[in-house]
Amino acid sequence: MDSSVRAILSDLEVRTPRGRLIYALITIALLLLAVVVVVPFIYAFTSGLKTSREVFSTTFQLFPAAANWDNYGQAWDYFNLPRLFVNTTFLVIGGLLVQLSVSMLAAYSLSKLKPIGGRFLLIGFLTTLMIPGIAYIIPLYVTAARLGLLGSYWGLWLSYGVNAFMIFILKNFFDGLPPEIFDSARVDGASALQIFAHIVLPLSRPILIVLSILTFVNLWKDFLWPYLVLLGNPELQPISVALFVVEQRSATPPNIQMAGYFMAMLPPLIIAIVMQRYMQRGLSLGAVKG
């Protein structure tokens, strides 16, 4: 994005003394807001460095007298963070693969293979977007229980195959690919699967990257469904579920809690900062939907 482009105020106006003042005030206001936004992160980080006496001090003191890095080591073991990170990664990558492959295949079929009743099916997929999953979490849970899917990652992985939004985005993307490529491949005798593997997949790389990052972050954030499915199997719980369960069960000292929470927030924060361009493009896909 071009940062130098004018908006409400023209470049000329910004250079007048009044304009300079207004511009400075806007900058200060936005910087203050930025500070407010990051305070919870900083507070978590510095509280994690405090002694158990300091975290209960009545006076405001953002930074401790001395940094107790030890707390971070303790929290690492106390919450068993390595296992939680492994669990979450495993769960999220599996869910991502299922969601991407199911959606890709369906979108490709709807876009290029002309199934009878395809329009009807697409509408059927899209109606699920109108009812947020949380509204039918009870019958979903009952279904998973009766199918014996509780307590394992399969209950989550398979259910992550449902993403009408992704089917919709991918179908639109495939619709926009030049039909000549497909026609000539078909004339050359390529099967639907060959066309999918050798033409569609390579061409979709850019959009797949964007969708993967978006889905990765979204699945990493998921809480209620993993909580319900893995309630009986603490070994497998991902990070938000496990932190909640520990918080409910035991009185953990606040400095250890905060050290743990800060470390738990780091991976998504790093991904968001490193991949910010993809993330924001992914969000604009959402805006297209809107």
Applying the rule CB under 8 A, the residues between 103 and 122 that interact with another protein are 103, 105-106, 108-110, 113-116, 118, 121
Could you tell me if 32 and 26 are in contact, meaning their C-beta atoms sit under 8 angstroms apart?
no
The answer to the question of residue 167 lying near another protein (CB under 8 A) is yes
CA distance 109 to 79: 45
Name 211's Cβ contacts closer than 8 Å, sequence gap at least 6. Answer: 100, 166, 169, 170, 282, 285
Q: Note whether 54 and 65 are within 8 A (CB).
A: yes
Angle at 283 between CA 85 and CA 218, to 5 degrees: 25
Residue from 74, 151, 154, 158 touching another protein (CB under 8 A): that is 158
Site string for another protein, 64-103 (x = CB under 8 A): -------------------------------------xxx
Choices 74-82, 89-97, 204-212, 273-281; region in contact with another protein by CB under 8 A: 273-281
Q: Give me the least distance between CB of 102 and another protein, in Å please.
A: 4
168 binds another protein (CB under 8 A): no
| 159 contacts another protein (rule: CB under 8 A) | yes
3-state helix, strand, coil in the chain (%, to 5): 75, 0, 25
13 scored as a contact of another protein (CB under 8 A)? yes
Residue 152 touching another protein (CB under 8 A): no
By CB under 8 A, name the one of 17, 139, 179, 189 that touches another protein.
139
State how far the Cα of 72 lies from the Cα of 264, in Å rounded to an integer: 11
Shortest distance in whole angstroms from residue 87 CB to another protein: 13
| Residues in 29-68 at the binding interface with another protein, rule: CB under 8 A | 29-30, 33-34, 37-41, 43-44, 47, 55-61
- Secondary structure E strands in 78-218: none
